[in-house]
Amino acid sequence: MITKLKNWLSVRHNVLELIFVASLLIGYVLVAWGGIGNNWDGTFPYFSRHFSTFPKLELSAWQYAGLGAPLGYASSTPFPLLTYLISRLTVTPELTQIVIHLLFFISIYLAGRLIISKLFPAQRLIAVLVSLLFIFNPAIFYKFLAGHWGYIFSYSAYLWLVSLLLSTKVFSTRTVVGLMLLAWLTTVQIQFFIFTPLTLLIWLFLNYTRDRLKIILSAFGAMLLLNCYWLLPILFGANSVDSLRSNAAVNSFTDLGRTNFLRIFTLWFSPATFIDKFFGAPSALFGILFFTLVIWGVFKRTYTERKIVLYFLIGLFSFVILTSGYYASIPIPVISYFYPMLREAGHAAPLLVVFLLLAIVGLWATRRTLVTILLFSYLALSYPLFLRGLPKVSFSDARASLQSYEDFLQQKEDSSRVLVYPFFNQYSLIDQPVRVINNTPLSNSGWDSFSIFSGSGYIQNSVSPIDFQDSLQRKFLERYDLELLRQKNVGYILDLSSVYASNFDKFSDPAVYGNDVSLIHTDKDFIAKVVKANPDGLAQVSPNIYRVVGAESRITGPTLMFVKESETLYRVDVTIRDYTKFSLNFLESFHYGWKIGSGTAISCEVVSVNQEITECASSNRLITWPEFKQPSFFEQSHTIYKDFGNRWEVDPELIRSRSPGSVRSNPDGTITVSLSIYYQPQNYYLVGMLLSALALALLLFGLLKSPRISPRKVVD
């Protein structure tokens, strides 16, 4: 009878837990329905078609944004590909987003439940509360406010990694493989290349054996091997570590690097996270109370699980230091070189909160009533503040405003670039509300999601303060000279002044733009001023869409025909009268990775003719892979063209002698030379992708086929 009663209560508790957690998640869905987006440091597609650009962006070692650039760090690949797959199963982008967020929440909750339940099995209610607070806390709210969706993915994987470390007594082959996979998944956000090894090393320090060292080294190896698809081009010189660490350190506006310890103890963190604008004094008091309980618990020695509590405390201390940013003033050989990759103090904040909550549970395990009341009160405060502060926008209204531009880009077939006005990013959707606090727009002020995911080459309007004075946009606003655009292969201007308003001045020092807000604020007469300065320079295609007359083609030279096969391969047929040398110009950012090789004749479906330059319809191939053995020509003559592009001096005689099949005579006496322009690091990128895919397949096979507990106990 007693056993039946216990079983009944156990089932009842499961149902109550499910109802409680589900009600909170449903509350989130009701508030977030319609879209969470236009974040100040992130973005999400408004159109379902735009998800199709995700594989294109992730499978190319050359990125089409701006004037083109080599791939930087691309550890985020698993998350965009997951998003793409989910988008195939959903109807609208906002539904895709809701599904992703619910998957995040469920994953985080289950990982938290596993951590607490395994370590403190008698504290079920506390486990529920802590797991929910892993989601609904100020630090995670900051990630939703900023739009750091990849971070949430890494954070979820990180919690599963911690749960695996703390709940596993015997490491079987399957468990080790699981740890390796989780370590890799955490690196979707590049800062976890520091956070995850730190967490593993703390665990190893407290639990050292030679076998455990091998396990940790295996996890480190998986982090590198499964990321070798983008690391391999770097090893072959396509990009530099200096460039990567500076890319990771780029801020759009204010300095996010440091904060004081008082703000950490209040869980407000850096002022640039804006947490204090949403989580006020009551929330700050809870933060101070949490830290006070930790300090008091250490001195009172209220804990029973010494090693586990020590792990929580060392983790908490480590992330307090990382969150403060003061580590940057401590020069450590080799390690200090990578300090800029931490980018900002706010990236360590959610992990600090995790270890803070775990430390409280560990230190006060014998005071369950106190801890339960405290955690429930904090959840009751944080949850509504979290929901109330979400940066909501209406995706459907955004689509309605942008639909005519989307229709144009879907029909646009040539490879010319697009310039969107207004400039300088931090856009508000004009017909949607903006939450302004202390003169700072904290919702509906973010990136140009439309251009980023459109799949069309575009001039990047996200200009960092340090680059503002030399930016194409500022120079163009200064004199409205269309020649600046023509020589950059800008074929169209999209006037979105009725859709976007820039808030760049709200996030930047006035000295950046010379205290001239007219450069930033939307000018309804912008197009009229351009036309006045350039009579006959623009041709209207449709309302608010203009063609730049006389824009240079992506490839220029003698009479030629070209086709863009992919972002990393162009094929060119050049028609000449004799074997005299000629110049070939390529309007992508200069990089020694761009090579000229022999080619084959083009079968052309004409999409544009610009004087003697004919562009053919792109085959839109997702992946192109020029052969490693294909010789490249004219590397000595490869120089910079017009301060940014590529130029080669081509010798037709050399092509004829080395690749006779690429040169042919025409009935009219002219000669056609078939060439290819390809980005060589794409080869290394795809080799790295194959190696990463093979490693992933082997690990998944090991995860599925290995026994749960190996005959030999790796960790006793």
Residue 129 has pLDDT above 60, yes or no: yes
Average of per-residue pLDDT across 161-178: 90
Dihedral (CA of 26, 446, 388, 260) sign: positive
What is the pLDDT at residue 2?
A: 44
Residue 63: left (phi > 0), alpha (psi -120 to 50), or beta? beta
Query: 430, 507, 409, 405: which is closest to 462 by C-alpha?
Result: 507
Residue 245 has pLDDT above 60, yes or no: no
What's the mean per-residue pLDDT of the chain?
87
Q: Rounded to the nearest 5°, which phi and psi values hold at 585?
A: -115, 140
Residue 548 has pLDDT above 50, yes or no: yes
Average of per-residue pLDDT across 683-688: 89
User: 581 in helix, strand or coil?
Assistant: coil
What is the number of other CB atoms lying within 10 angstroms of the CB of residue 200?
22
Residue 343 has pLDDT above 60, yes or no: no
DSSP 8-state code for residue 706 = S
Average of per-residue pLDDT across 528-543: 94
> At 163, is the pLDDT very low, low, confident or very high (cuts 50, 70, 90)?
very high
Q: Are the C-beta atoms of 28 and 144 separated by less than 8 Å?
A: no
What is the number of other CB atoms lying within 10 angstroms of the CB of residue 710?
15
Residue 6 has pLDDT above 60, yes or no: no
User: 595 in helix, strand or coil?
Assistant: strand
Residue 603 has pLDDT above 50, yes or no: yes
Largest CA distance in the chain: 102
Strands of the 417-421 sheet, one edge to the other: 417-421, 490-495, 545-548, 538-542
User: In terms of DSSP bridges, do strands 555-556 and 582-586 run parallel, antiparallel, or are they unpaired?
Assistant: antiparallel
For residue range 28-65, list pLDDT tens digits in order. Answer: 999 999 999 888 888 899 999 999 988 888 888 898 88
Average of per-residue pLDDT across 545-567: 93
For residue range 500-527, list pLDDT tens digits in order. Answer: 999 888 888 888 888 888 888 888 899 9
For residue range 98-111, list pLDDT tens digits in order. Answer: 999 999 999 999 99
Calculate what percentage of the chain has a pLDDT beyond 90. Answer: 60
Q: Are the C-beta atoms of 582 and 521 separated by less than 8 Å?
A: no
> At 647, is the pLDDT very low, low, confident or very high (cuts 50, 70, 90)?
very high
- Give 390's contacts (C-beta < 8 A, 6+ positions apart): 31, 32, 36, 144, 145, 443
pTM: 0.91
What is the pLDDT at residue 243?
A: 54
What is the pLDDT at residue 204?
A: 95
DSSP 8-state code for residue 619 = -
What is the pLDDT at residue 290?
A: 96
Residue 72 has pLDDT above 60, yes or no: yes
Average of per-residue pLDDT across 313-333: 81
As a dihedral over the C-alpha atoms of residue 262, residue 263, residue 266, residue 267, rounded to 10 degrees, the angle is -140
| 515 or 590: which leads in pLDDT | 590
Q: Which run of H or E residues covers position 496? A: none
| C-alpha distances out from residue 641 to 419, 557, 583, Å | 21, 12, 10
Q: Are the C-beta atoms of 650 and 574 separated by less than 8 Å?
A: yes
Dihedral (CA of 655, 659, 660, 663) sign: negative
Residue 250 has pLDDT above 50, yes or no: no
For residue range 225-238, list pLDDT tens digits in order. Answer: 999 988 888 887 76
